[in-house]
Structure 1
Amino acid sequence: MQLKSHTMFHLLQSSRLALIVGILSFNFALTGCGQKEPTQKQAEPQNIELIAQDLVAVQSGDSVQMTAFTGTIRAVNQSSIQAQVSATATNVNAQVGDKVQKGQILLRLNNQDNAARLAQAQANKASAQAQANQAKLMMERKLRLLNQGFISKVEYEQSRVDYQAQLENARAQQANVDIALKADQDGLIKSPISGVITARQVEPGQTVAIGQTLFEIVDTNQLEIQAKVPSDMQSALSVGNQVEYQIQGNPNRLTAVISRISPIADQASRQIEFFATPKETLSSLSIGSFIDGNIMSSQKISGQIVPLDLVKNIESQPYVWIVRQNKIMKVQVELLEQRYKDNIAVVRGLETGDHVSRLEFTDADIKKTVTLDSKQK
């Protein structure tokens, strides 16, 4: 009887232990399931909902190779007027900003010495001319006497030689008159071209020296671009090539056409000078202004066209946020051309069917699925 009771006791203890182990195993299983289920939910990517207006379809286009340059605006026709004689300025008839015509008197110089020399030369010429006329009459008279047999031929020849000498003397005196007249006229300063006075460096009563600059004149009706590019970029230079430029302080983008190219490079700077004719009318205030521009090559490069303001980090490594096969992607692109006026960029690195996003994302959004909300218009 005691042996039977002892056996029953062991059976009860074993059943209780098995029950406890089963309960603990079940709890561990539940705990494991509870931890695994949230992990699977975190790994599952979230969808990003966009509307059609958030995306811009990528289109194919062409890019023109550009060569950057700097230069200035200058007048095609300009003149610097210097004094040809030493004299005192009496009448100054032009101010800075005045429009003048070719041949207009700008300044009178009081050169009395030259005026006196002119008067003396004219008197000497008159005397020599009178002597030549008298010698001519004497020669003609002796010719008649020779024909009548009253004088010898030697006497006539002597009169003819005397007339030739007096005639040459008169011509020499005329040359002296021309020289004196030129010196006298140098005291009358006239404008060599039609244009605008940009500088005046003489005042009434001032004594000027030979070679001193008196006026600067420019023709504002004809302006051009003067610029240089390094000799290793000479392939971009061709007469007729288009130029896009911007005048310092003026936000407008202007255009021009290359008209002239220097045949040689500068020996010191190794740069080639060229000139371009602006297509737009420029103000005279633009003369002397600095410009930045690009020479547009005739060769075109194919690329993709996207809005310029959607290209990020333009200065170093440009990229765009796109939707490709319904996934968000961050793609680096090669920037071929920037058209600020039209907000257009020509790039390389995108594929047909890509859509550029107007919205900016983060790296955590890469490869997330995009869905379009059809309810939005």
Structure 2
Amino acid sequence: MRKISAAATVYSLILILSGCSGNQSAPDGPRSGNMSQRATSVEVIDISREPINRQIRSYGNVRAQENVTVVPQVSERVSSIHADLGDTVQAGQLLARLRDVTFADQVRRDQAQLEQARIALERDSTSFARSRELYTRELVSSAEFDNARSTWLNSRANYESVSASLTQSRENLANAEIRSPVRGVVTRRNISPGDLASGGQPAFELANLVGYEVRLFVPLQDRRRLRIGQVSDIRVSGEREYSAEGVVARISPELDPVTGLSEIVITITGHDNSLFPGALTEVHTTVETRSSAIVIPRVALVENVQTLIDPESNTIRLERTFSAFVTHGDSIAVRRDLELGIEQGDRIEVISGLNDGERLIITGQTGIENESKIRVSGMQRGARPGTVPDTATGNRQTE
């Protein structure tokens, strides 16, 4: 029985040693797997330095720098229209005509009354002059002299009143013709034949299309970065290409108490034919420029999100960090943690984590880890970050 026990003990010892040997060789498994893993196909670009701008994006409508609202000076029915939407008009050109029968009749009545007042004034002036001469010779009483003088003063006041009434009547008759005060283009017509045009109600709106501007409303944090003379790139909303350039011309000194926004006026300095009044535009104003920065395309970034729980406040927050992969030789991918700076569209400044001359992986990086085997299948030499083909995003996956 002792021999059998000894044999069993030896056999158990062999099994234990064999198990230990297996446990010691386990860590080498993944290494051999990594050595034999299949290389991931990637594309790379050379990392270099280039300018990048920090820009403020905002939206606003284009408007002519000179806008004029034409308001009738008298109230009457519209007789005829002589200018329509889109017409170019000169200063003084007839836009519309109102019915002028009433005004013409009033002019004729005032002219007749003025003639009567003139005759009366001449008669009373002659009588007063004669009475004054007789009074100096003491041939008439002071009461007769005062009566002649009072009659003359009343006649003169009546003549001046009727003359002022005639001037107003003639002005009303002239105002029955609505004329353009400036040279410009008709951007709106608010009246039609038969309508009752009245003072205070705009009849036409005109714009001088020589100069344009865009009015923006920005929050306080953006206003603090804006300065007079900063350059803006402008494009009509929905279009891919910029169609105009401008500069910051005016900055409101106050914020709207309701919205908390500040008004900014961008004067357009150059534009193509796609720009027109009323168009909604997207404005990118440059507030900071880095002349030599490491800039990479956004598609090269790998986002890492960690969920952090604060046991004291019992709150959860997400912490986002970013990394990218560069090549070590042409066969190994090396992960780099990044500190990011200015973002301009699809281009991002890297403050730390990458160096000039390294090769940055721009496709395939979401499927690899640090020191993964790679195979460079393509390289874009001299390509600007942000000009990566759309196919580069086809392999992106969520980690």
Would you call these one fold, judging by a TM-score over 0.5?
yes
* Regions of 4+ moved over 6 Å: 45-51, 369-373
Q: Deviations over 1:221-246 (max 9, x none)?
A: 22110110123433023222222332
Establish whether residue 58 from structure 1 lines up as the match of residue 29 from structure 2. no
Q: Any residues of structure 2 matched to 1:272-283 within 5 Å, and which?
A: 272-283=262-273
User: Structure 1 residues 303 and 153, CA, compared in 2 at 3 Å: closer, same or farther?
Assistant: farther
In structure 1, the partner of 2:229 is 240
Q: Distance in 2 between matches of 1:198 and 1:97?
A: 6
In structure 2, the partner of 1:13 is none
Q: Any residues of structure 2 matched to 1:1-377 within 5 Å, and which?
A: 41-42=32-33, 44=35, 54-59=44-49, 63-142=52-131, 149=137, 151=139, 154=142, 159-253=148-242, 254-283=244-273, 286-298=276-288, 303-307=293-297, 310=300, 319-323=323-327, 327-331=332-336, 333=338, 334=340, 336-338=342-344, 345-353=348-356, 354-361=358-365, 363-364=367-368, 366-368=370-372
AA of the residue aligned to 1:99 = T
Q: Distance in 2 between matches of 1:182 and 1:319?
A: 77
Unaligned runs of 5+ in 1: 1-27
User: Structure 1 residues 220 and 311, CA, compared in 2 at 3 Å: closer, same or farther?
Assistant: farther
User: Structure 1 residues 300 and 250, CA, compared in 2 at 3 Å: closer, same or farther?
Assistant: same
User: Structure 1 residues 174 and 312, CA, compared in 2 at 3 Å: closer, same or farther?
Assistant: farther
Q: Distance in 1 between matches of 2:250 and 2:72?
A: 32
Contact 2:302 2:365 in 1 (8 A): no
Of 292-301 and 94-103, deviating more is: 292-301
AA of the residue aligned to 2:226 = L
Of 318-327 and 179-188, deviating more is: 318-327
Contact 2:77 2:197 in 1 (8 A): yes
AA of the residue aligned to 2:270 = E
Q: Deviations over 1:152-191 (max 9, x none)?
A: 5946666455434322222111221222223222311111
Q: Deviations over 1:281-330 (max 9, x none)?
A: 354863212122233225759742235665567xx876543236885223
In structure 2, the partner of 1:6 is none
User: Structure 1 residues 192 and 312, CA, compared in 2 at 3 Å: closer, same or farther?
Assistant: farther
Instruction: Give 1:106 shift.
Output: 0.8
Residues paired across the two proteins, number: 337
Unaligned runs of 5+ in 2: 1-17, 304-319, 382-399
User: What is the SS of the residue equivalent to 1:127?
Assistant: helix
User: Structure 1 residues 231 and 55, CA, compared in 2 at 3 Å: closer, same or farther?
Assistant: closer
AA of the residue aligned to 2:333 = I
AA of the residue aligned to 2:370 = I
User: What is the SS of the residue equivalent to 2:270?
Assistant: coil
Q: Distance in 1 between matches of 2:274 and 2:152?
A: 62
RMSD between superposed Cα atoms in Å: 4.2
- More helix by percentage: 1
Q: Deviations over 1:238-291 (max 9, x none)?
A: 222222332113322243111122222112211111111012235486321212
Contact 1:54 1:357 in 2 (8 A): yes
Q: Distance in 1 between matches of 2:119 and 2:337?
A: 97
Contact 2:100 2:176 in 1 (8 A): yes
Contact 2:57 2:284 in 1 (8 A): yes
The TM-score, its normalising length taken from structure 1, stands at 0.72
Q: Distance in 1 between matches of 2:239 and 2:366?
A: 37
Contact 1:308 1:338 in 2 (8 A): no
The TM-score, its normalising length taken from structure 2, stands at 0.69
Contact 1:58 1:356 in 2 (8 A): no
User: Structure 1 residues 54 and 135, CA, compared in 2 at 3 Å: closer, same or farther?
Assistant: same
Contact 2:117 2:162 in 1 (8 A): yes
- More strand by percentage: 2
Q: Distance in 2 between matches of 1:216 and 1:181?
A: 26
Contact 1:239 1:259 in 2 (8 A): yes
Q: Distance in 1 between matches of 2:181 and 2:212?
A: 18
AA of the residue aligned to 2:191 = V
AA of the residue aligned to 2:234 = Y
